[in-house]
Amino acid sequence: MTLSKFLDTENSMKSPLKKSLRSGGFKSPASPDVDILTMMNGGTHMGGFRNAYPVFIKQDEKDYLVYIPDLEIYTEGKDIPDAIAMARDAIGLKLVDAIEYPEASGPEEALKKAREDADETFDYSDGLLTYVDVDCESYRKKLRNRAVKKNCTIPFWLNKEAEEQGINFSKVLQEALIQKLNIG
């Protein structure tokens, strides 16, 4: 049964799970003391700033297609774990330069957005709805610290001397830039 059918059933408010889903007041399995709504709306989790966004995953032939309605992102994975990893990466990339993080919607609002965005060929609203969290600050730090290749030109004789002495060009350039920029 899809989430929409589950929430739309006649006796939907009688089930504690349904009440919890409708209100958004459910706990994170990873950290039961943190309410999912707190995480969804940019709460803290294990010392980092973490958001959780609703994600629809639906199988289409061999692939699992992913739709993140709050951020209008589409991606895919080869299986469900890969689809979740791709969703997390897509969210991190989208928000890496964000000053403020968009508020996450609840399940009903996400379902409404998915229905509105459906077309005659594909409808994510009857797929699996889950939440994917991203530690935006950790993601930003990871991207900032990645290695970047730079080409530089030096005289042949200087290159030969440095190679003979086993000089690490990258390390020398990093040290020189840190010294020149006064950031060390």
- DSSP state string for 57-94: EEEETTEEEEEETTTTEEEEESSHHHHHHHHHHHHHHH
Residue 119 CB neighbours (<10 A): 6
Q: Which fold has domain 3-144?
A: Double Stranded RNA Binding Domain (3.30.160)
Q: What pLDDT is attached to residue 17?
A: 45
Distance CA 134, CA 96 (A): 10
Query: Please, what are the averages of pLDDT over each run of 10 residues along the chain (184 residues)?
Result: 50 45 44 45 50 93 94 95 95 85 90 90 90 86 83 94 95 92 84
Task: Identify the pLDDT of residue 99.
Answer: 78
- Predicted local confidence at residue 184, as pLDDT: 67
pTM more than 0.85:
no
What is the Rg, in whole angstroms, of the alpha carbon atoms belonging to the chain?
23
Distance CA 15, CA 82 (A): 32
Q: Please state the domain extents for the chain.
A: 3-144, 148-184
Residue corresponding to tokens 């709805």: 129
pLDDT at 74: 95
State the pLDDT at residue 7: 52
